[in-house]
Amino acid sequence: MSAVVEMKSQNSDAQQIAADLMRRARLAQKIFADADQARVDEAVRAVAWSLYKPEHARKLAELAVEDTGLGNVPDKIIKKQRKTFGALRDLLRVKTVGEIERDDKRGIVKFAKPMGVIGAITPSTNPGATPVNKALLAIKGRNAVIVAPSPLGYRTTEMVVDFMREGLAQIGLPKDLVQILPSPVTKDTTQAIMEAVDLVVVTGSQDNVRRAYRSGTPAIGVGAGNVPVIIDETADLDSAAQKICASKIFDNATSCSSENSVVIVDAVYDKAIAALKKAGAYLANGTQKAKIQNELWKNGKLNRHLIARDMQTLVKGFDLPADAASSKYILVEETGIGPQYPLSGEKLALVLTVYRASDFQAAKETVRKILDFQGRGHSMGLHTTNMARARELAEDLAVVRVLVNFAHTFGNGGGFDSGLEFTLTMGCGSWQKNSISENLNYKHFINITHLVVPIPEDKPSEEELFGPHWTRYGK
């Protein structure tokens, strides 16, 4: 068989797979489309419980680590349950059926409608939690969802989809409201699903994000993380260090919201380093830094054998002294930013790059340069007691989220002490060519009909609108 004929055959097979999944999804969604709010919320609870259930959360966490080698079981259990619990809280507080908003002054009433079938592209870093999070949002909008997982985490995603389907069947709803792309997942089958569904939501590789945007289907994709945080001279250093440690080490730094650089102002640099070490950091020396950089990147790409691994694996891989294994993560001091300085980018590992800045303004410029290199649009953090500085960062820097005095991983994707929506999908705005500049939430999974009635005329005079221009520049 020639290469051209083989490619046509593969494309035909992919189209057939997509067509079969879509047929079942359409039938299931049609049944669910007329559900009232109570029934929708019953479905949302069932899907959430299918992952939150302790024995399910543990089984999925163990399988995810076994299959991908990424992260660790205890933190994956916490992540699955925390994210699912938080998302359920958010979703049960909002309406997505019938009238959802009324503005009598403007004469507008809004009604929510389903979008149809959602294509959910999910990553290997969260093969259990992300599919459920997207399914919850889809089901809340009375949609069906087809999950296209990373091949590396396929068994985990397949299991969680089975759990969700069982949960739906238990309450008398069609299992096919949630489906998974059959194995082996290929670029062709993923592309076919992207082209067939009514909305694509992509978390994971930037290649998949770009392919989704080119699919001809409305798409929501997210950008790469590379979170920098500032510690200024007003910060509670011990508190900042403890939060950075807890956030950095969570699930072995698999989160895109994990701190990748910390920029410390000179006035408290030594004290801050001491606080970070006290909280669990190991400070690498110059020779060790070179080894870390050379091993963490191979042929310009992150080394899959070292990302999202525990400290014992890193100590061995980086040839660090044995006592480093008793630490929780590694600090590496750096001065450069950009392609020639890979430590200034996202690492997905228990390695945190440290920069010294002369003052807050210099720290802000360091953060700007880091984000311009990688992670622009995503998020940053600040440890301070000076809220005017937080406002300055929010006004001046190209990020969607500025978190103040947070363990960044736990606040950025929603937290019980954070007003951001619980999600595993963070939009980065046009800075990373994303269609949203907020956390993915239920509003992105509904269509809205506007009922419009006449109101008293609201037509200002020409003088009101053009007066300032006439006064300054003439008619």
Query: What is the full DSSP assignment across 442-474?
Result: GGGGEEEEEEE---S-----HHHHHHHHHHHH-
Residue 427: predicted pLDDT: 94
- The pLDDT tens digits of the residues spanning 183-219 come to 999 999 999 999 999 999 998 888 888 898 999 999 9
- The pLDDT tens digits of the residues spanning 248-258 come to 999 999 999 99
Residue 10: predicted pLDDT: 62
CA angle (203, 167, 204) in 5-degree steps: 5
CA 460 to CA 43: how far, in whole Å? 48
In the predicted model, what is the mean pLDDT of residues 82-86?
Answer: 96
Residue 9: predicted pLDDT: 56
At residue 6 the predicted structure's pLDDT band, cuts being 50, 70 and 90, is very low
Report residue 406 as tokens: 């947070």
At residue 5 the predicted structure's pLDDT band, cuts being 50, 70 and 90, is very low
- The pLDDT tens digits of the residues spanning 96-126 come to 999 999 999 999 999 999 999 999 999 888 8
CA 444 to CA 460: how far, in whole Å? 35
- Is 256 designated active site? yes
In this structure, of 6-10, 200-204, 384-388, the range with the lowest mean pLDDT score is: 6-10
CA max distance for the chain: 79
Residue owning tokens 């009238």: 99
Please give the helix or strand (H or E) that residue 14 lies within, else none. Answer: helix 3-32
User: For residues 56-89, b (16+ Cβ closer than 10 Å) or e, as one string?
Assistant: bbbbbbebbbebbbbbbbebbbebbbbbbebbbe
Report residue 50 as tokens: 């299918």
In the predicted model, what is the mean pLDDT of residues 55-74?
Answer: 95
Side by side, the strands of the sheet bearing 219-221 are 178-180, 144-148, 117-121, 199-202, 219-221
In the predicted model, what is the mean pLDDT of residues 291-302?
Answer: 95
Cα torsion angle, 445, 451, 455, 459, sign: positive
At residue 2 the predicted structure's pLDDT band, cuts being 50, 70 and 90, is very low
- The pLDDT tens digits of the residues spanning 364-382 come to 999 999 999 999 999 999 9
Residue type, 302: L
Hey, is 123 helix, strand or coil?
coil
Beta bridge partners of 178: 145
Q: Would the pLDDT of 8 be above 80?
A: no
Catalytic residue among 51, 88, 256, 308: 256
At residue 443 the predicted structure's pLDDT band, cuts being 50, 70 and 90, is very high
Domains with residue ranges and CATH for the chain: 12-222+440-451 (3.40.605.10), 227-413 (3.40.309.10)
The span from the first CA to the last CA of the chain, in angstroms, equals: 75
Report residue 311 as tokens: 């400290």
Q: Per-residue DSSP letters for 108-120?
A: EEEEEEE--EEEE
Please give the helix or strand (H or E) that residue 368 lies within, else none. Answer: helix 360-373
In the predicted model, what is the mean pLDDT of residues 435-444?
Answer: 95
% of the chain with per-residue pLDDT over 70: 98
Residue 282: predicted pLDDT: 98
| pLDDT, averaged across the chain | 95
